[in-house]
Amino acid sequence: MTSSSSSSGRRVAALASLALALSATGCGGASRTAIPDATGAAPPPTRLRVALYPPQNASGRPARVKELEQGLELALRARGVEVVAGDAVRRALAARRIRYTGGLDRESAAAVRDGLGVEAVFIPTVLLDDPAYPPRLAVDGRLVSAADPPAILWEDGVARGGADYPGWFSQGIVSSIGALQGQVLSDLAGSLSEWLDGKGAPRPGCDAIRPRIAYRSRKLDVAGLRTVAVLPFVNQTTRRNAGEAFELQVLRELVATGQFKVVEPGNVRERMLAGRIIVEGGASLDAARVMGEALGADVLLAGFVRDFQDPPAQSGPPQVELGVQAIDGRTGDVLWWSSSRSRGDDGVFFWGIGRVSTAAELACGVSRGIAGRMAGDRPAPAPSGPPSGARSAPADDSRAAGGVGTP
Partner 1 sequence: MNRLLRRSTPLLLAALVASATGCASHKSYQNKNMDFGSIRAIAVLPFANLTRDNLAAERVRDVFSNMLLASEAAYVIPPGEMNRALARLSIQNPTAPSADEIVKIGGMLKAEAVITGVVKEYGEVRGGSSTANVVSLSAQMFEAGTGKVVWSGTSTKGGLSWGSRLLGTAGGDPVNDVTEQACDDLLKQLFR
Q: Which is nearer to partner 1, 245 or 327 (CB)?
A: 327
Torsion of Cα atoms, 129 then 132 then 133 then 135, to 10°: 10
Q: Where are the alpha helices (DSSP H) in 136-284?
A: 177-196, 242-257, 265-274
Q: Which is nearer to partner 1, 69 or 307 (CB)?
A: 307
Least gap, CB of 336 to partner 1 (angstroms): 10
Q: Is 221 helix (H, G, I), strand (E, B) or coil?
A: helix
Q: Which of 59, 101, 227, 325 binds partner 1 (CB under 8 A)?
A: 325
Q: Which of 45, 62, 224, 281 binds partner 1 (CB under 8 A)?
A: 281
Least gap, CB of 175 to partner 1 (angstroms): 33
Are the CB atoms for 254 and 230 separated by under 8 Å?
A: yes
Q: Which of 61, 90, 212, 391 binds partner 1 (CB under 8 A)?
A: 212
For the four alpha carbons of 217, 220, 226 and 232, in that order, the dihedral sign comes to positive
Least gap, CB of 282 to partner 1 (angstroms): 3
Site for partner 1 in 227-246 (CB under 8 A): 236
Q: Does 64 bind partner 1 (CB under 8 A)?
A: no
Site for partner 1 in 114-133 (CB under 8 A): none
Q: Which is nearer to partner 1, 134 or 323 (CB)?
A: 323
The CA distance from 182 to 58, in Å, is 20
Q: Does 225 bind partner 1 (CB under 8 A)?
A: no
Report whether the peptide linkage leading into residue 149 is cis, meaning its omega lies within 30 degrees of zero. Answer: yes
How far lies 217's CA from each of 34, 44, 68, in Å?
45, 44, 42
The CA distance from 315 to 317, in Å, is 7
Q: Which is nearer to partner 1, 70 or 236 (CB)?
A: 236
Q: Which of 80, 265, 323, 405 binds partner 1 (CB under 8 A)?
A: 323
Q: Which of 13, 95, 213, 273 binds partner 1 (CB under 8 A)?
A: 213
Stretch that binds partner 1, among 36-44, 246-254, 258-266, 302-310 (CB under 8 A): 302-310
Stretch that binds partner 1, among 33-41, 101-109, 263-271, 278-286 (CB under 8 A): 278-286
Stretch that binds partner 1, among 127-135, 162-170, 254-262, 328-336 (CB under 8 A): 328-336
- The residues, any chain, with a CB within 8 Å of residue 286's CB and separated by 6 or more, are none
Q: Which of 54, 284, 296, 397 binds partner 1 (CB under 8 A)?
A: 284
For the four alpha carbons of 226, 231, 234 and 239, in that order, the dihedral sign comes to positive
Q: Which is nearer to partner 1, 38 or 278 (CB)?
A: 278
For the four alpha carbons of 118, 121, 122 and 126, in that order, the dihedral sign comes to positive
Q: Which is nearer to partner 1, 216 or 269 (CB)?
A: 216
Strands 120-130 and 56-57, bridge-based pairing: parallel
Q: Which is nearer to partner 1, 333 or 377 (CB)?
A: 333
Nearest to 185 by CA among 130, 227, 123, 140: 140
- Backbone φ and ψ for 318, nearest 5 degrees, come out as -70, 155
Q: Count of residues binding partner 1 (CB under 8 A)?
A: 29
Q: Which of 12, 15, 20, 215 binds partner 1 (CB under 8 A)?
A: 215
Helices 87-95 and 106-116: crossing angle in degrees, nearest 10, is 120
Strands 234-235 and 299-309, bridge-based pairing: parallel
Q: Which of 15, 334, 382, 393 binds partner 1 (CB under 8 A)?
A: 334
Q: Does 339 bind partner 1 (CB under 8 A)?
A: yes
How far lies 26's CA from each of 39, 106, 139, 253, 323, in Å?
21, 43, 22, 29, 39
Q: Which of 185, 327, 364, 404 binds partner 1 (CB under 8 A)?
A: 327
Q: Does 337 bind partner 1 (CB under 8 A)?
A: yes
Please give the residue ranges that form the binding site for partner 1 (CB under 8 A): 212-215, 236, 279-288, 302, 304, 306, 321, 323, 325, 327, 332-334, 337-339, 341
